[in-house]
Amino acid sequence: MLAPMQGVTNRALRSLFIDWVRPDVVFTEFMRVNAAAPIRRLSTGDLREISAKEGDVPLVVQLIGHGMEALVSGARAAQAAGAVHINLNMGCPYGRMTSGLTGGGMLQRPGDLAEIIPALRRAVDGTFSIKLRSGYDDPEQIFDLLPLFETAGVDFLVLHPRTVVQQYSGSADHGVTARVVKRTRLPVIANGDIRNAADGVRVLRETGAAGLMLGRGAIADPLLFERVRGGADSTPDHGERAAMLRRYLRELLSRYGELFSGDAQVLAKIKEVFNFMDDPFFEKNIRQLRKAKNMRSFVTALDGLG
């Protein structure tokens, strides 16, 4: 699965991944459920993004919000717009995004979840999944929640085994993932710190997870999907990596040009992917691409990449 990453995995980037490496499942960026607007829970822009599939790949619509009534009506609005697969974001670590606890903040009030999760399951006609951290500040919290998820009839879990308060510090503890897999009958998708093919193969082997969700590692290297599958070199040399990056960034330029308005916006958006690239061999090239002030200088730097 291609992870939902706010501000990054827009429909242009998703289409590139689908055409190039075909993830088995893709997610929308999270869609905010507006608790203060009962008539229009989801924005017009978000509603336009919704469908059952992109290409022939299932598209999961991820909702973020708070309050049972708002989330249920948001799920119904998404389904009315064409969604078949709904996911609840209980993992975003960045605090209050609205007037209530959302994302990973929902784990601060586990008592509320006993009402929210069954209500969402009843409201969703297709698949209903949850993406979450292992806990708010206690990595063992997930084990207390598993009976609720199972009884409610959640279809699968996507687990990032850090706590919310950790944000992205430290390391994802996939020992927790392995224990969750053993303790639940629900399919568990492993997420977190899968940066290369060896990581992916190891996590699958050691956890028994039903699959992987690839986020930051895939944004840095779209071919990570194929490397994990064994369809591309798991340890590409410098030349292969350079060729991949040139193709990737040129394709993004083309697709972003159709989605965003003007060179300045296109460059601003494409530079966001550099936040996930830490290959020391291309540090100088990435620095030049970041500094590019216009499309001509960006393309010149891209042509010299490698």
For residue 6, is it within any domain? no
For residue 4, is it within any domain? no
Rounded Cα distance, 4 and 60, in Å: 9
For residue 162, is it within any domain? yes
| Residue 99 pLDDT greater than 70, yes or no | no
pTM above 0.75, yes or no: yes
For residue 137, is it within any domain? yes
The CATH number given to whatever domain includes residue 184 is 3.20.20.70
Contacts of residues 50-55 at CB distance under 8 Å and 24 or more positions apart, as own/partner, are 50/78, 50/81, 50/82, 50/83, 51/82, 51/83, 52/82, 52/83, 52/84, 52/85, 54/11, 54/14, 54/15, 54/18, 54/26, 55/15, 55/18, 55/19
Cβ-proximal residues to 57 (8 Å cutoff; 6+ apart), any chain:
18, 22, 23, 24, 25, 26
Question: For 145-154, how does the pLDDT look when each residue is reduced to its tens digit (9 = 90+)?
Answer: 999 999 999 9
pLDDT the model gives residue 306: 78
For residue 74, is it within any domain? yes
pLDDT the model gives residue 94: 76
- % of residues, the chain, pLDDT over 90: 93
Q: Are residues 261 and 133 in the same domain?
A: no
Q: Are residues 172 and 294 in the same domain?
A: no
Q: Are residues 200 and 242 in the same domain?
A: no
Domain count, the chain: 2
- Domain residue limits at 81: 11-229
Q: Are residues 295 and 211 in the same domain?
A: no
Q: Are residues 69 and 171 in the same domain?
A: yes
Q: Are residues 45 and 183 in the same domain?
A: yes
Q: Are residues 148 and 242 in the same domain?
A: no
For residue 104, is it within any domain? yes
Read off the pLDDT band of 120 (50, 70, 90): very high
Q: Are residues 41 and 128 in the same domain?
A: yes
- Domain boundary, last residue among 199, 229, 259: 229
- Domain boundary, last residue among 229, 254, 271: 229
Q: Are residues 20 and 120 in the same domain?
A: yes
For residue 3, is it within any domain? no
pLDDT the model gives residue 37: 84
Q: Are residues 256 and 156 in the same domain?
A: no
Q: Are residues 207 and 271 in the same domain?
A: no
Q: Are residues 178 and 268 in the same domain?
A: no
pLDDT the model gives residue 98: 46
Question: For 189-201, how does the pLDDT look when each residue is reduced to its tens digit (9 = 90+)?
Answer: 999 999 999 999 9
Cβ–Cβ < 8 Å for 127, 168: no
Question: For 25-81, how does the pLDDT look when each residue is reduced to its tens digit (9 = 90+)?
Answer: 999 999 999 988 888 899 999 999 999 999 999 999 999 999 999 999 999 999 999
Mean pLDDT of the chain: 95
